[in-house]
Structure 1
Amino acid sequence: MIRGIRPLLRGSTYSGVLFAYCGALASLPLLPFALLPALSWRSAPERVQLVLVLLVWAVLVGMVGLARPVRRALIVSARRMLRVPLPDPATGRRTSGSLGLDRWRTPLWLVLHVALGWTGALVSGVLIIAGLTLPGGWLRSEAELSLFGWSVRAEGGWGSWAAALGCLLLAAAVCVVVTNALRWLAPRLLGPSAAERLALAAERELQLAERNRIAHELHDSIGHTLTAATIQAAVAGEVLSADPAAARAAMRSIEESTRAALEDLDYVLGVLREEQSGTAPTRTLADLPELLDRLRHAGAVVEPELSGELAQVHGTLSRAAYRILQEGLTNALRHGAGGPIEVRVAAGPDGLDLTVVNRTGAGTSTGKGPGAFPTSGHGLPGLAERVRLLHGEFEAGPDGPQHWRLAVRLPVQVSVRGSE
């Protein structure tokens, strides 16, 4: 019983009825135009004229729904008054489905909306009038209401009150039925079509890919900076009294590296907030000497071996190579067991070879003990994914009893095409 009357206590039920009635009233300006064919065919029977008026009226109402702003207005109003979660319509170019049957969903919604609105208004209006009129004869032996050839008679004083209450409850039930019918139709006719859902899914996929790319960039840049700054701060603290010059050099290196990381962070936050961010700070192989200097200030011994025309490596290949070396050196600095870090970069006509070798410590050649290069987390999977997208070759694992080796080969042809 309580569950049955619960919809009658919700404000959304009556806002939905108001939405239906407003749609019915909005169609009234089209009624004079719908009467024109019937007026020009006066010899037709009355029923034929009535059917003709209704058909022309429905066609005129449906034609209004072909305008794109009408669909947007209907979605917004249905979302607020029917409390139905409807996404905004796509604002880009029309899909192939929007030119077919999907184009007629809005006209169909308008016709059904107007039909339900008028039906609900007439039926509930008659019932409300009956409910308010029947109790007028409660002092007499009977009460009767006649309307459009229909009559309701209640015999006895209290019978008229019972009939009136029944009419009012039926009017409320009509409101619930109209609202629920519109709520059922709204997602099917005003919601996204199959073609629009595919377009939204493709757009969402592009956004997720961009966010994943940003996450990789943020991990590479901020992770490296925090690792280097932590080690440099520790070194500065140890030599502050014995070697103030070395401590000042370490602090300057921390300032430079954190400033560069702040530029990356500002760009990433701008993208995540969907603001008009500036050009993304790009790090390429031209910035490799600065990266190696920051590692040296952190106390690491770096042995670089650069060969080939690195200055001629541009675009996606150069940026990806820098990030790969940054991640490899960061992990070598964070998880290595001291000793020199070997960095080899060789640019050839067919590809770019990147190698980072660091010491893992005695008894840790399996990569599972302290000082080994990590085999879990975001480092190696992120590198492997970046290399895979560039159609490159990726290898990471023990190199002898006490070393870890990261080797990557990136093909020049694929990377050059991807950067154009």
Structure 2
Amino acid sequence: MQATTRHLARYLARRFAWHMLGAAIGLALVLLVYSLLFSAVTEPPAWVVVVVAVAAAVGLGLVPGARELEVTAARALLDVDAELVVPARPRLAHRVRTAGWVVLHLVTGMLVAVCLFAVLPGAVLIAVETVAGRSFGSGFPLPNSVVEAVLRLAACAVVGLLAVTATWPLGVAASALAGRVLGPTSHDRLETALARARREAEHTRLARELHDGIGHALTVVSVQAAAGRRVVAANPEAAANALAAIEDTARSALAELDQLLAVLRDDAADAAPAALAPALDDVVTAHRRAGLDLSARIDLPAGLPALLSGTVQRIVTEALTNAHRHGAPGPVRLTVGLAGPADDRVVIEVVNPVRGGTRTGRRSSGGRGLAGIRERVALFGGTAEAGPDGDRWILRATLPWTPAPADRKELDA
């Protein structure tokens, strides 16, 4: 019970402070406007003072920093649960809403101040006059009967109670409106959604890079470790070769991880795939050392863009890793090159034997490798197909490429 009472007291005190802040600013603004008008007109009409004061309050809401102050006050004193925003680049909608909120803050604050410092003392004075039977300057006539006196005392009690509790409903209304007025606009929500989509796309890209680089290296390491463990007693030389391959692969993976972290620090997202992709010859050599019976025919022109080259290297890495991890023992054929003399599309094809359980067209892994290949190819408007063909698994990816004029002359030559 005591905790509830203290919480209610803090609740009312914060809202009262918010209203008094608005009352202080509003009263100062009204006095300033009145003094300026009085210097020009001896007795300015009340409606003129009100109109000019409201216009001044709107101008105050347009001052830079006004929204920050109002958002801070709303969060600290009104206990607003809704999201309040302070945009880095305010738009017209933000300025209009801020000006309207400032006017609301000043008006409600002055209304609460009038209730507490004018209406409440007036009600008390009239009640005292009624009880004492004499006037103390309120200007109200004394009651002529006991019934009239009782009714007047009841009216004073009601008015005084309303004046004291005026801060409660006005504070609740302000708290409810703060989220609508100072909250995000439709443009803010769109920008937030786009920023979230960009973050999710970046997370997907990073996950793909880690999968393609570190994940593939760990696959080679696990295969070599298993092979070395099986032959460590019978063939120490083969076990030593496996350990050497593990060492080289781990060192390469660490270097690639360092490059990825460097790219993240430099925020060079566009250059990441090309900078992180290992050379095709190194990929082929690593898988051959890991025990893959691999024959490769790589014939790529020298003028490939860095991003396209990096994508080709990543696709080859993924395809060979899948062949190593899921394929059956036997020869694997890798072909990388242009589709034909008059066809500038880059074609990547990997053919490997399949195990008996994969002829249905589904790998047993459930990983994201093939999905990652399709995502990379789709960025270039290409195609990617993967599936069983008899006792073989064929992956074929096609990437469009438009050579520069100088590269076109070299290819034609």
- Tell me, yes or no, whether TM beats 0.5: yes
Cα distance, 1:384–1:9 mapped onto 2, change above 3 Å: same
| Partner in structure 1 of residue 13 of structure 2 | 14
Distance across 1 between alignment mates of 2:146 and 2:200: 67
Count of residues paired in the alignment: 392
Gapped regions of structure 2 (runs ≥ 5): 406-413
Gapped regions of structure 1 (runs ≥ 5): none
State the shift of 1:8 in Å. 7.7
| Partner in structure 2 of residue 24 of structure 1 | 23
Is the contact made by 1:393 and 1:410 (CA closer than 8 Å) also made in structure 2? yes
State the shift of 1:81 in Å. 2.5
Q: Percent identity?
A: 30
| Partner in structure 1 of residue 409 of structure 2 | none
| Partner in structure 2 of residue 413 of structure 1 | 402
State the shift of 1:68 in Å. 3.2
Cα distance, 1:176–1:308 mapped onto 2, change above 3 Å: same
| Partner in structure 1 of residue 410 of structure 2 | none
Is the contact made by 2:19 and 2:108 (CA closer than 8 Å) also made in structure 1? yes
**Letter paired with 1:408:** A
| Partner in structure 2 of residue 335 of structure 1 | 326
| Partner in structure 2 of residue 389 of structure 1 | 379
Cα distance, 1:172–1:281 mapped onto 2, change above 3 Å: farther
Distance across 2 between alignment mates of 1:276 and 1:17: 50
Computed over aligned residues only, the root mean square deviation of the Cα atoms, in angstroms, reads: 4.2
| Partner in structure 1 of residue 85 of structure 2 | 88
| Partner in structure 2 of residue 319 of structure 1 | 310
State the shift of 1:398 in Å. 0.8
What pairs up with 1:239-254 in 2 under 5 angstroms?
239-241=231-233, 242-243=236-237, 244-254=239-249
CA deviations 1:204-257 (Å, max 9, x no partner) are 332322222222222222321221221122223334442153134223223223
| Partner in structure 2 of residue 204 of structure 1 | 196
- Secondary structure at the residue paired with 1:68? coil
Task: State TM-score, norm by structure 1.
Answer: 0.77
Distance across 2 between alignment mates of 1:32 and 1:8: 36
**Aligned with residue 344 of structure 2, among 319, 325, 350:** 350
| Partner in structure 1 of residue 37 of structure 2 | 37
Cα distance, 1:146–1:363 mapped onto 2, change above 3 Å: same
Distance across 2 between alignment mates of 1:189 and 1:305: 65
Cα distance, 1:226–1:334 mapped onto 2, change above 3 Å: same
**Letter paired with 2:69:** A
State the shift of 1:164 in Å. 9.4
Q: Which is worse superposed, 11-20 or 56-65? A: 11-20
Cα distance, 1:136–1:253 mapped onto 2, change above 3 Å: farther
- Secondary structure at the residue paired with 2:397? strand
Task: State TM-score, norm by structure 2.
Answer: 0.79
What pairs up with 1:19-418 in 2 under 5 angstroms?
19-35=18-34, 36-42=36-42, 49-84=45-80, 85-92=82-89, 98-99=91-92, 102-126=94-118, 129=121, 170-171=162-163, 173-241=165-233, 242-243=236-237, 244-263=239-258, 266=261, 271=264, 280=272, 282-283=274-275, 287-309=279-301, 311-347=302-338, 350-362=344-356, 364-368=358-362, 372=363, 374=365, 376-399=366-389, 401-413=390-402
Q: Which is worse superposed, 21-30 or 283-292? A: 283-292
Distance across 2 between alignment mates of 1:68 and 1:256: 55
State the shift of 1:412 in Å. 0.9
- Secondary structure at the residue paired with 1:27? helix
Cα distance, 1:15–1:110 mapped onto 2, change above 3 Å: same
The structure with more radius of gyration? 2
